[in-house]
Chains A and B, each alone.
Chain A
Amino acid sequence: MSNGNARWRSTAEQIFPRLAAIGVLLLAWWATAASGLFSPNELPSPGAVLDAFAESFVTPDPPRESILQATQASLVRLVVGLSVGIVIGTLIGLAMAASPTVQRSIGSLMAGLQALPSISWLPLAILWFGLSERAILFVVIIATIPAMAIASASSIRLVPPLLVRAGRTLGARSWILQRRVVLPAAVPGYVAGLQSAWALAWRALMAGELISTGGKGLGHLLDANRQVFLVSRIFAVMLMIIIVGMAVEALFGVLDRRVRSKRGLLAAT
């Protein structure tokens, strides 16, 4: 009974601040919209945006696609681009961890690449691949690679030396030591790397879709609605981008908590 009570209280403590923050934001938005300072064509009310959001599922936005089709197109690009970027980035990171020479050479290159916002590759990508699917995917992949390379290399570098020594005294050597001791010990750091990589990929994808006009996707939809001044629809698409982003974030959050709770790395709350 008291246990259930405590759980209910902690759930309430978790949820209340979030609801409160959203509530205050909505209230401020609604008040600003209702004040008449902006025309509804510039700043629609929360209600109007919600209507537009619901509508965009059934009535296609101007470029012939519903918001669901756009979401699907963007998610496919995210999955493909992120996967390719993760594989390449991880391989580079492993090489960096394995060899100090690679770490110094390619490692510094990766650090430099990370300092360059990935969207600045888009002009080049369009020249190389044309206004195509491949140009956008390129930008997403190039956003993911340095983050994954640096994260996987450092997660291996930060493996507690004691665990490696323990593995060696048990008789683990070379490949077995790497595969059975070093890599599993590096997993929490690697998952943290995945979390930041996906967020970078998502930003790069939205920017890429927004700029390379035509085609499908949530980014395109934003721009298409701007061209026909459908402000409430722009807000609706932004709402969708937030929802998808939070859902994917939650997915990686579950993975992260699983990995860390198994290893006793979760702070007791």
Chain B
Amino acid sequence: MRAQRSLVAVPDAVPPGTPKLAARGVSKTFRNARGGVVSALGEVDLSIADGEFVCLIGPSGCGKTTLLNLFAGLDRPDTGEILMDGQPVTRPSPQRAVLFQDPALFPWLSVRANVEFALELIGVPKSERADRAMGWLRRVHLGRFANAQPHELSGGMRSRAALARALACQPQVLLADEPFAALDAQTREILQGELQEVWSETRNTFVFVTHNVREAVFLADRVVLMSAPPGTFVAEHRITAPRPREFEDVLLSKVVVDIHDHLLKEVEKVVEREREMA
């Protein structure tokens, strides 16, 4: 009986070839403090396949965070639309978990209670929450710190806790906005390795915003380079190197140099413009 049901086509089945996540003609402007209009994101189109790891990279102000917030459903685009499985995204959902620049843990809850809260929100029954939360915390090497308050953890541990909380939602899509930017270089490298490890098991669709080329090349299937503001896409690099990847990989280093040169040109444009304005 059960097996039969799973054979019946689900009514809202996604047609084959539909991207997991897509931006169609999306743009967004903001008002600055003086009421002027600032274009944060030019018109962009982007399709991300199921299970694909995409890194967005670009100079500051290019709208990569803006685009990520649009994907999350935290903001609405001025033009165009955001689609997930072909359906318009209109509000945040635990199906699209977000890792912010700051771990954004709830300071009144213990590390474990933070993860349990995420489980509660996706409807996990109370009796299972503690075990499942512990499972995710062990996975990011935080088992021993489950009962600590977030402020008692180091920066790297807080980032891990945020990752555990995001994964506990069992999201189809993970959206990360420079989640390791505030960490020191060594911790950052360790966490990148751990992220690669966890992701190779979960294989969620991943959109990862960074301005660190090495990080992008190390993690991604595809690196999308954004232009000086108003941000649009200027180049795309597919990274085909097999996983698990090593930071010392010579092939990767070559790609890093290429993208880095390209990115530098975009950053120079920004700096040029800022000098002209000054």
- Which B-chain residue is minimally distant from A263 (CB atoms)? B107
B63 vs chain A, min Cβ distance (A): 18
Contact of A170 among B102, B108, B121, B150 (CB under 8 A): B121
Contact status B102-A162, CB under 8 Å: yes
Which of the candidate stretches A54-62, A94-102, A176-184, A189-197 sits at the interface with the other chain? Answer: A176-184
Listed residue (B94, B107, B151) with the most chain A CB atoms within 10 angstroms of its CB: B107
Contact status A169-B106, CB under 8 Å: no
A3 to B108, CA, bound (A): 29
In residues 156-170 of chain A, which contact B (Cβ within 8 Å)?
Answer: 162-163, 165-170
Contact status A163-B151, CB under 8 Å: no
Verify if A36 is at the interface (C-beta below 8 Å from B). no
- Contacts of B165 on A, CB cut-off 8 Å? 170
- Contacts of A170 on B, CB cut-off 8 Å? 94, 97, 117-118, 121, 165, 169
In residues 84-132 of chain B, which contact A (Cβ within 8 Å)?
Answer: 91-94, 96-98, 100, 102, 104, 106-108, 117-118, 121-122
Verify if A131 is at the interface (C-beta below 8 Å from B). no
A171 to B160, CA, bound (A): 20
- Contacts of B78 on A, CB cut-off 8 Å? none
A199 vs chain B, min Cβ distance (A): 25
Contact status B106-A181, CB under 8 Å: yes
Verify if A240 is at the interface (C-beta below 8 Å from B). no
Verify if B241 is at the interface (C-beta below 8 Å from A). no
- Which B-chain residue is minimally distant from A172 (CB atoms)? B121
A185 to B106, CA, bound (A): 8
- Contacts of B118 on A, CB cut-off 8 Å? 170
A166 to B93, CA, bound (A): 11
A267 vs chain B, min Cβ distance (A): 12
B231 vs chain A, min Cβ distance (A): 21
Verify if A264 is at the interface (C-beta below 8 Å from B). yes
Verify if A187 is at the interface (C-beta below 8 Å from B). yes
- Contacts of A173 on B, CB cut-off 8 Å? 91
- Contacts of B149 on A, CB cut-off 8 Å? 262-264
A171 to B107, CA, bound (A): 18
Contact status B108-A166, CB under 8 Å: no
Contact status B121-A169, CB under 8 Å: no
A172 vs chain B, min Cβ distance (A): 6
Contact of B94 among A162, A163, A169, A187 (CB under 8 A): A169
Verify if B74 is at the interface (C-beta below 8 Å from A). yes
Verify if B72 is at the interface (C-beta below 8 Å from A). yes
- Which A-chain residue is minimally distant from B94 (CB atoms)? A171
Report 20 cross-chain contacts, Cβ distance below 8 Å, ordered by A residue. A165-B100, A166-B98, A166-B104, A166-B106, A168-B92, A169-B93, A169-B98, A170-B94, A170-B121, A171-B121, A171-B169, A172-B121, A184-B106, A185-B108, A263-B107, A263-B108, A263-B151, A264-B107, A264-B151, A264-B152
Which B residues contact A (CB, under 8 angstroms)? 72, 74, 91-94, 96-98, 100, 102, 104, 106-108, 117-118, 121-122, 149-152, 165, 169
Q: A171-B93, A262-B107 are in contact. List 7 more A-B contacts (CB 8 A).
A: A162-B104, A163-B106, A170-B97, A170-B121, A176-B121, A263-B107, A263-B108
